[in-house]
């Protein structure tokens, strides 16, 4: 350290660190599913392009970009003609004039791109935007702003299948595991966020559940009065009527009509003990911290819809039962 009068102080130090070989190996293995795959990014925002392309390169992806739809189509066709087709096209929903939706439809309608995965980076704010994305038949969409972990998981998931060439004639898909078949039921999903709605609906649909979606607590009450449900997934924070009030009214209706108690699972971003207590006091039976994984959703549905679990609950007190909580996924 040197400290001349009137000139401030300067600090120096030397540190030696060992090479983090295990971490480097783990990162290399983690990037394995993506290494060498080809991605075309379609985004007219220069800053966003630079950030995403740099991330793709760090993951071992061969990547290129296009600014507008026509340029994207030309790039995709040229790559296919060279025998080096892209594995995925990532489209920014914010392309001028809603052209990202039209581009997605063109790609999906062109037989030359039959194996190309289409990912849409879409805002989470408007229902109309999400409906258009779904109607364009994209393979998956990610809510903006995009988290690197979510984007990586998305690409690893859809591209894992893209890299596996069939070894022989098409094989019929294996039947779903018996427990999942046994757990099918009628689910009421009360959730105001359109992206969260679509993600949960797809997970439930793929596991064989019938899903009714309500955008707020009032819609959830109307749906509950008009149909019979095996379980309710209830978001706590919703407009018009929140999940707490909706759950209280559902319990009141069950008492008035002498109906069987339907399990209500709170969907909440809060995991503090007082938040769990508030859910239980409102008449909810359990909670699932957001964001949650497919496996966590399956586990909590199994806990409440499996026949053995149901018998256990029936033998217990009719009041709310606090079950083991599930950890929040980053």
In a domain, 139, yes or no: yes
Same domain, 147 and 193: no
Query: Bigger pLDDT: 138 or 118?
Result: 118
Same domain, 148 and 183: no
The kind and range of the H/E element at 29 are: helix 21-30
3-state secondary structure (DSSP) of residue 261: coil
Q: Which of 111, 112, 120 minimizes the C-alpha distance to 143?
A: 120
In a domain, 7, yes or no: no
DSSP 224: H
Same domain, 97 and 213: no
pLDDT digits (tens, 9 = 90+) for 43-77: 988 888 888 988 888 888 888 999 999 999 999 99
Question: Could you tell me if 234 and 246 are in contact, meaning their C-beta atoms sit under 8 angstroms apart?
Answer: yes
Same domain, 201 and 143: no
Same domain, 142 and 185: no
Same domain, 182 and 153: no
Same domain, 136 and 185: no
Cross-strand partners of 190: 214, 234
In a domain, 217, yes or no: yes
Question: Averaged over 83-103, what is the pLDDT?
Answer: 88
In a domain, 168, yes or no: no
Q: What is the CA radius of gyration of the chain?
A: 25
**Nearest-angstrom CA–CA distance, 182 and 209:** 10
In a domain, 26, yes or no: no
Q: How confident is the model at residue 194 (pLDDT cuts 50, 70, 90)?
A: confident
Domain residues for the domain of 85 are 34-161
Domain holding 76: CATH number? 3.40.50.2300
Same domain, 309 and 182: yes
Whether the CA torsion 113, 114, 116, 119 is positive or negative: it is positive
In what side-by-side order are the strands of the sheet with 117-123?
A: 62-66, 38-42, 88-92, 117-123, 140-144
Q: Provide the number of structural domains found in the chain.
A: 2
Q: Given this model, what pLDDT does residue 263 score?
A: 94
In a domain, 265, yes or no: yes
Same domain, 293 and 193: yes
Q: Which of 115, 45, 109 minimizes the C-alpha distance to 79?
A: 115
In a domain, 11, yes or no: no
Same domain, 184 and 303: yes
Same domain, 196 and 303: yes
Q: Given this model, what pLDDT does residue 21 score?
A: 47
One-character DSSP codes across 42-111: E-S-HHHHHHHHHHHHHTT-EEEEESSHHHHHHHHHHHHHTT---SEEEEETTSGGGHHHHHHHHHHH-G
Q: Which of 241, 182, 232 minimizes the C-alpha distance to 207?
A: 182
Question: Global pTM?
Answer: 0.43
Please give the mean pLDDT across all residues of the chain.
Answer: 77
Question: What tokens does 97 get?
Answer: 């004039």
């Amino acid at each position: 350290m040197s400290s001349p009068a009137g000139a401030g102080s300067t600090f120096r130090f030397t540190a030696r660190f060992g090479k983090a070989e295990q971490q480097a190996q783990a990162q290399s293995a983690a990037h394995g599913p993506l290494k060498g795959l080809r991605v075309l990014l379609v985004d007219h925002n220069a800053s966003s392009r630079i950030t995403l392309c740099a991330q793709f390169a760090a993951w071992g992806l061969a990547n290129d970009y296009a600014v507008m739809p026509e340029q994207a189509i030309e790039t995709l066709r040229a790559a296919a003609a060279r025998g080096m087709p892209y594995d995925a096209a990532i489209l920014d929903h914010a392309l001028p004039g809603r052209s990202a939706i039209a581009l997605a439809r063109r790609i999906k309608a062109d037989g030359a791109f039959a194996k190309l995965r289409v990912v849409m980076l879409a805002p989470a704010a408007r229902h109309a935007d999400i409906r258009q994305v779904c109607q364009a038949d994209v393979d998956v969409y990610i809510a903006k702003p995009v988290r690197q972990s979510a984007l990586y998981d998305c690409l690893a998931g859809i591209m894992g299948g893209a890299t596996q060439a069939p070894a022989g004639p098409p094989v019929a898909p294996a039947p779903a595991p018996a427990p999942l078949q046994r757990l099918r039921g009628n689910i009421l999903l009360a959730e105001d966020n359109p992206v969260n709605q679509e993600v949960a609906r797809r997970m439930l649909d793929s596991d064989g559940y019938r899903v009714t979606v309500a955008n707020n607590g009032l819609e959830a009450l109307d749906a509950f009065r008009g149909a019979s449900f095996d379980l309710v997934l209830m978001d706590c924070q919703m407009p018009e009527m929140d999940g707490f009030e909706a759950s209280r009214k559902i319990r009141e209706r069950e008492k008035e009509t002498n109906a069987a108690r339907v399990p209500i699972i709170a969907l909440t971003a809060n995991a503090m003990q007082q938040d769990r207590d508030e859910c239980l006091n409102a008449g909810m039976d359990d909670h699932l911290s957001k964001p949650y994984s497919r496996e966590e959703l399956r586990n909590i549905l199994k806990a409440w819809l499996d026949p053995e679990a149901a018998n256990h609950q029936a033998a217990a007190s009719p009041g709310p039962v606090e079950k083991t909580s599930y950890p929040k996924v980053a």
